[in-house]
Structure 1
Amino acid sequence: MREFGFELSLCARLERAGGIVARQLGGAVHAPGSRILDVVHVEPGPAFDERAAITAERIPGPAIEADVSAGKARYWKDAFDLHPDRTRAIVDRAVEVGFFERERRGGREYVRQTTRYPDWFSTITAVENKPDLSNPGDLERQLRFDVALGLVDEVILATESYVTRAHLNRLPEEVGVWRFVNGEREVVREPTALGSNGWGVELGDRHPLRTDVSFVSPDEKARKRRWIAERAYGKGWRVEPPSCVRGSIDEVAGSSVPYCTHYDRIVNPGECGTSCPGYEPGEAPDADLEAERDRKTGWVADPAGRRRRQVGLDRF
């Protein structure tokens, strides 16, 4: 099975255990694009239902951090220490997803939170997918990056390969290892907690005699962890089927995945196109992935929201 199919199958299996699962999220702080986490599992906290009641979308981080509360409206420009254009975009998005509401006073726009942002998640686990350990690529460095930074609570390697003692010796000892074959998971080694609430070290560019590093504070890590959790909540892991006459939907661990009858396997729709010998444009098969996610998880596709009607607001 190609890595994409392996990844979707693992996501479907993880989702059965509960929590929020997402794919391909940034896992660095100072150089955000330098590390992409294959799969992220977010364990719900005690206030998860409160978060689910606000919006199905990601809430912008700057809106959460802004000097805005549910109890008192603030002039929108005074609530952010950002460029006005950036502030405008954040406010508009926060209103759109139902986390902010607007009111006008004397021709000026004020904003307030529709509800207090809840402490809704607990542990975050990152899973690095490497089905074939005979072709590891930069696997060891990627895992050392995650362990040194300690942004997530646990790091796990998932593979189809038989795991030898030599494989384990090449990996940071904190990294857990799963063997995942035909939907069944074997725990080869349990992960060690990384201490995500402390300082971290982000590995940078490599040189012949050194590796650049930067230190990441607990506050920076906390903001990034919230970004990961929010991004995971809004994004999920499901993928729309390809717009091709040979595209279809298959089921893995009770969840829908994009399938190609030409290749007879799970397929990445992003790779479908004229370069494929089996490609023929057509309507994508019907798949209500939001309804499926709503049905199988604690994520709510169409929450009631927490918007309150302000006295006199209908005058505007």
Structure 2
Amino acid sequence: MALTSDTIPRAVLDAPVPVGTYERVTRVFDGPPERARAVADAGAETGFLDVTRRDGQQVVRQPTRYPEWIGGLVGVENKPDLERPGGLSRQLRHDASLGVLDYAVVATESHVTGAHLNRLPDAVGVWRVDFDRERPIRIVREPERLDAAGPGLEVLDEHAARTDVRPVSGAAKARQRRQIAERAHGKGWRTFGLPGCARASTGDGGVTLPYCEHFDRVVDPARECGTDCPGFADADPPAVALDAERERRTRWERDAGGRHRQAGLDQF
């Protein structure tokens, strides 16, 4: 849903601004009155908030409800060598106990043993990745859905005899989920670059992927392409229109076209 073509400040999204009904700005936004009014004005400038005065007080409302647009969050921890796990186990225990993500997965090039699986939380999935295979991803263990809606526990520190944790509310997790999703959404669409090679193309089916005619498969340009490749032939990268494809295949719009209002809110 397109709300505004501008970036809505995080302080505006995190505040309990009512939808349809007006509330005093100083009751909605934390901090001194000057800061509260500045945040409200910033939200109004984007078109997401209505700010006016009633009975000598500055009041604010949302004319449009912020949509629940997040489908699901999958966190993929890239760990090519499981024999050198580093802080992998702790990170995954943190992900599983906090539950901000819907699913957590480890992607590895290593041969996965039962000992490896036993060191990981049961809810974490494991993918074996080998780009030399026709189907490069083999699912060793399916991930289990985490409780992203309820409260969670954040792992702060681990000791030999205890683990320090902090309870995190469902509302705090929802804010973090939105921030993660917005960062991922804002990075763009298919952010990898296509290789400058005469044998590179975008594949078939109307989906832009780095397809290599020499290997007859999709490749990882950052790892597999370049002058060291036996099939490399210097050329300009294939011409693509990633913004147009992203707009065609997702709900993203290059220009949201200003503000939108929900019908029926004027009755409040």
TM-score of the superposition, structure 1-length normalised?
0.58
Give the structure 1 partner of residue 247 of structure 2: 294
Q: Is the CA contact (8 Å cut-off) linking 1:58 and 1:233 kept in structure 2?
A: no
- Displacement of 1:82: 2.9
Sort the Cα spacing of 1:139 and 1:77 in 2 relative to 1 into closer, same or farther, 3 A: same
**What does the per-residue CA deviation read over 1:90-118, in whole Å, with 9 as the maximum and x for residues that have no partner?**
43553454322444679975543231122
Which residue is 1:53 aligned to?
2
**Is 1:173 the equivalent of 2:125?**
no
Change (3 A) 1:162 1:240: closer
Q: CA RMSD in A?
A: 4.0
The one-letter amino acid of 1:126's match is G
State the one-letter code of the partner of 1:82: G
Match of 2:222 among 249, 262, 266: 266
8 Å Cα contact 2:53-2:59 kept in structure 1: yes
Q: Distance in 2 between matches of 1:57 and 1:251?
A: 32
Task: Give the match for residue 115 of structure 1.
Answer: 64
Q: Report if aligned partners of 1:145, 1:203 keep a CA contact under 8 Å in 2.
A: yes
Give how far 1:289 is off: 5.0
- Report the CA distance shift for 1:239/1:96 in structure 2 as closer, same or farther (over 3 A): farther
Shift of 1:239: 4.5
> What is the CA deviation profile of residues 28-81 of structure 1, one whole-angstrom value per residue up to 9, with x for unaligned ones?
xxxxxxxxxxxxxxxxxxxxxxxx321466644542343433423445334212
SS of 1:294's partner is: helix
Q: 1:186 aligns with which of 131, 134, 138?
A: 138
Is residue 2:214 matched to residue 1:214?
Answer: no
Give 5+ residue unaligned stretches, structure 2: 194-199, 211-219, 224-238, 262-268
User: Residues 211, 301 of structure 1: CA spacing in aligned structure 2 closer, same or farther, 3 A cutoff?
Assistant: same
Inter-CA distance 265–135: structure 2 relative to 1 (3 Å threshold): farther
Closer, same or farther: CA 66–236 of 1 in aligned 2, 3 Å:
same
Please report how far the alpha carbon of residue 169 of structure 1 lies from its aligned counterpart in structure 2 after TM superposition: 1.9
Equivalent pairs, count: 230
Asked whether the equivalents of residues 100 and 114 of structure 1 are also in contact (C-alpha less than 8 Å), the reply is yes
Question: SS of the counterpart of 1:54?
Answer: coil
Q: Which residue of 2 aligns with 1:131?
A: 80
Q: Does 1:66 align with 2:15?
A: yes
Q: Give the drift of 1:149.
A: 1.3
Which sections of structure 1, spanning at least 5 residues, go unmatched? Answer: 1-51, 242-248, 258-263, 268-285, 309-316
Q: One-letter code of the match for 1:233?
A: H
Secondary structure of 1:266 counterpart: helix
Q: Distance in 1 between matches of 2:37 and 2:241?
A: 33
* 1:261-316 deviation per Cα after TM superposition (whole angstroms, max 9, x unaligned): xxx9528xxxxxxxxxxxxxxxxxx98654443233222221234445xxxxxxxx
Aligned 8 A contact 1:175 1:191 in 2: yes
State the distance in 2 between where 1:212 and 1:58 align. 37
After TM superposition, give the deviation of residue 144 of structure 1 in Å. 0.8
In 2, Cα distance between equivalents of 1:96 and 1:252: 43
Percent identity between matched residues is: 47
Structure 1 residue 250 displacement after superposition: 8.7
Whole-Å separation in 1 of the counterparts to 2:201 and 2:81: 23
Residue 80 of structure 1 is aligned with which of 23, 26, 29? 29
Counterpart selection for 1:232 from 184, 194, 208: 184
The separation in 2 between residues aligned to 1:164 and 1:296, in whole angstroms, is 38
- For normalisation by structure 2, the TM-score amounts to 0.66
2:148 equivalent to 1:148: no
Cα pair 2:149 2:174 within 8 Å, conserved: yes
**Partner secondary structure for residue 152 of structure 1:** coil
CA change 1:299–1:62 in 2 (3 A) is same
Shift of 1:224: 2.4
- Displacement after TM superposition at 1:202 (Å): 1.0
Alignment partner, residue 154 of structure 2: 202
**Residue identity in the other structure for 1:266:** A
- Could you tell me how far 1:145 is from its partner in structure 2? 0.9
* Aligned mates of 2:174, 2:147 — CA distance in 1: 12
Shift of 1:214: 1.1
Map 1:6-21; keep pairs closer than 5 Å. none
